[in-house]
Structure 1
Amino acid sequence: MQVTNHPAPTAGRASFTLPVRVYFEDTDAGGVVYYANYLKFCERARTEWLRTTGLAQNRLAAEQGLLFVVRSVEASYLRPAVLDDMLEVVTTLGKQGRASLDFAQQVRRDGQTLFEARIGIACVDRDAMRPIPIPPAVRAQLASLV
């Protein structure tokens, strides 16, 4: 089994880029990335971006009882990615509401956008699964990035 070393993610103030390799398991019978997997790539990128900012989701859940959950997705599939492509998932934090975050995300190959999405995230109470305000300390940490 060959292991490929991926370049480290890059973080800017308001954006984050996660490199993703396309594996056989990511493709469909036609040999292209299955449409739902673009959303998985985006989820990984948002999670890694939050982790690099010091906001690990498992810690937020355990220590503050909050979760960030997807509330909406608007997606455009522009060009296919295929097996072994090296992709970049670019995540940019947009509008921050009282209990929500909006992200713009793109999946790119060699600078060309293949997929783009607007993802709405809600902050919810882990136990009640109801929206709650983003805590001030978390809000301040996010605000420092934009």
Structure 2
Amino acid sequence: MERARTEWLRDLGIGQHALKTNDNLMFVVSTITIDYKKPAILDDELTVQTDLLSMRSCSIDLKQQIFRKKELLTNSIVTVACIDANQLKPVKIPTTIKKLMELL
């Protein structure tokens, strides 16, 4: 799911390395709730779907689901906070990033 969140941001044109280096910002998981429906098995090909549920000034809520083909294995709600990369304290998500997130 972590990798899928990184790819979700990348699809928006937001690279996490550049975000940290250029803007001194990072997105970090602050809360996650997971409902395991069925187990995955070694070497299963899995798909992780990531959707924006809500946005606040310093954080977003994402719905992430893991599928094996069309079979739902896991449901989760993940709260991701925007933080200052040096102070590790919450900061407001920049308006430009919020506008990109609203497009998906």
Q: TM-score, normalised by structure 1?
A: 0.69
Q: Runs ≥4 in structure 1, deviation > 6 angstroms?
A: none
Residue 70 (structure 2) aligns with: 111
- Corresponding residue of 1:93: 52
Q: Paired residue for 1:69?
A: 28
Alignment gaps of 5+ in structure 2: none
Residues 14-43 of structure 1: per-residue CA shift (max 9 Å, x gap): xxxxxxxxxxxxxxxxxxxxxxxxxxxx00
CA distances 1:96-133 after superposition (whole Å, capped 9, x unpaired): 10000110001111211111110000000001100000
| Cα RMSD, aligned residues only | 0.8
1:56 aligned partner: 15
Q: Name the structure where strand makes up a greater proportion of residues.
A: 2
Report the count of equivalent residues.
104
Q: Report the secondary structure of 1:80's partner residue.
A: coil
Provide, for residues 25-73 of structure 1, a one-character-per-residue CA deviation record: whole Å limited to 9, x for no partner.
Answer: xxxxxxxxxxxxxxxxx00001011112100111111111000000001
Q: Identity percentage over the alignment?
A: 38
Q: Secondary structure at the match of 1:101?
A: strand
Residue 94 (structure 2) aligns with: 135
Structure 1 counterpart of 2:4, one-letter code: A
Q: Given residue 67 of structure 1, which amino acid in structure 2 is its aligned partner?
A: M
Unaligned 5+ residue runs, structure 1?
1-41
136-145 or 87-96: which moved more? 136-145
Greater CA radius of gyration, 1 or 2? Answer: 1
TM-score by length of 2: 0.96
